[in-house]
Amino acid sequence: MKKNTSLIFKIFLALLIGINLGLICKYINFEFPIKFLATFSELFGNFLSFIIPLIMIGFIVPGIASLGSNSGKALLITTILAYISTLGAGFIAFFAGSNIFPKFLKANTLVIASGNNISSFFSIEITPIMSVTSALVFSFVMGISLSKIQNSSILNIFNELNVIVLNITSKALIPLVPFYIGAIFAKLSFSGEIFTTIKSFAIVYTVLFIIQGLYILLQYSLAGIIKKKNPFKLIKNMIPAYLTAIGTQSSSATIPVTAECVKNNEVSEEVTDFVIPLAATIHLAGDTITLVLTSMAVMYMTGRIPTFPIMLPFIFMLGVTMVAAPGVPGGGVMAALGILESMLGFGTLEKPIMIALHAAQDSFGTATNITGDGAIAIIMDKILNKETQIDNELNKNTILE
């Protein structure tokens, strides 16, 4: 918990230092520190572009393979419900952003802010081993294929790659992210447009938190109708899990508390023990709301219009891409960087902005994820209990005959 809090603190500290450094250097007309930071950000950005395909393969292949290795109707129904919930979150976020952001966000803010371009001292080109699209297709093909093979030695290789990539992400990328973000914001503040950018971010977060809260209410309204229970009472029972997720910033680490809260909502132990660990991996409604809204905001601020045809495939891919995203702060956005680059065209300016926007609210996105897991468990409990009753009735009739 202290580690997660420390990361958020470092990001905010880096933002503060970067903004003030850029303003001071602009005031005294001293470019050297900004050029130094520009060199670091370019080198780190190139390394990030190199590692993104490996992150996608390391996360997605084991995630899909392990998911497919299980069997049964319960797995299929839970997966469908989780994916529908994730898609629903994405579409609601899109329509909210489409109606609100054009009225409040200033077009070309980031383009203007990056217009005073500070060149780096030197650059090292690091070519990725494959394109993001190739990595995505390869991951799906291998993940689905390996899910059909029991005790696959090849899957063990990808599991080890998952560990390697997770170590690179948690021990190299994530610790350097605050410096990367600080360098980008130093360049932005040096241009003189930083305060307009920060004002835009405040608007994005206001919309973001409102949509997350409304989506939790929507999920439990549906669960309450199905279970014939007051949705506010169901949500009240989930508050300990929500608060725990804010502290742990990890769906996996919150599983014990989530399970206890779900049982308090009168969900059977069997369903709870199956649904909650699975949903913690595949249900990412909170992250989807965050990434859809923040990516739309960044597009508006760079003079692009996030139309429905552009965002539709992105939303569909987002739920799949982040399956089995690592339980470390910023893991969700790291897993999504590939499709942000390949599908939305995000580059060296947009990607660090996305990391900063996501990291600042990561704990609330996680809390929205796991609270939604409780709603899925309630629905699954009703579905499975109904099927059990039908099976018992059929068996009873067979015996009488």
Q: What is the pTM of this model?
A: 0.76
pLDDT score, position 221: 95
DSSP 124: -
Q: Is the pLDDT of residue 401 over 60?
A: no
DSSP 130: S
Of the ranges 28-37, 178-187, 293-302, which one carries the lowest mean pLDDT score? 178-187
- Whole-number Å distance between alpha carbons of 39 and 105: 30
Name the range with the highest mean pLDDT among 105-114, 235-244, 346-355, 382-391: 235-244
pLDDT score, position 278: 80
CB 284 within 8 A of CB 322: yes
Token readout for 201 is 């971010």
Tell me what the mean pLDDT of segment 311-325 comes to: 80
How many percent of the chain have pLDDT more than 70? 85
- Whole-number Å distance between alpha carbons of 72 and 67: 11
- Whole-number Å distance between alpha carbons of 210 and 232: 17
Of the ranges 35-39, 220-224, 306-310, which one carries the lowest mean pLDDT score? 35-39
Average pLDDT of the chain, as a whole number: 81
Of the ranges 30-39, 111-120, 162-171, which one carries the lowest mean pLDDT score? 111-120
The residues, any chain, with a CB within 8 Å of residue 65's CB and separated by 6 or more, are 142, 143, 144, 146, 147, 152, 155, 158
Token readout for 68 is 């497919």
pLDDT score, position 190: 82
CB 137 within 8 A of CB 339: no
Tell me what the mean pLDDT of segment 281-294 comes to: 89
Of the ranges 47-61, 62-76, 133-147, which one carries the lowest mean pLDDT score? 62-76
- Whole-number Å distance between alpha carbons of 262 and 373: 9
CA separation, residue 378 to residues 73, 76, 229, 385 (Å)? 16, 16, 10, 11
How many degrees, rounded to 5, is the angle at CA 293 between CA 313 and CA 111?
A: 95
- Whole-number Å distance between alpha carbons of 241 and 254: 7
Q: Is the pLDDT of residue 398 over 70?
A: no
Instruction: Give the side-chain half-sphere CA count within 13 A for 327.
Output: 14
Residue 324 pLDDT grade (very low, low, confident, very high; cuts 50, 70, 90): low
Tell me what the mean pLDDT of segment 211-235 comes to: 94
- Higher-pLDDT residue of 76 and 220 is 220
Domains located in the chain, CATH noted: 2-400 (1.10.3860)
pLDDT score, position 331: 65
Residue 87 pLDDT grade (very low, low, confident, very high; cuts 50, 70, 90): very high
2-36 pLDDT, tens digit per residue, is 444 456 677 788 888 988 998 898 888 888 888 88
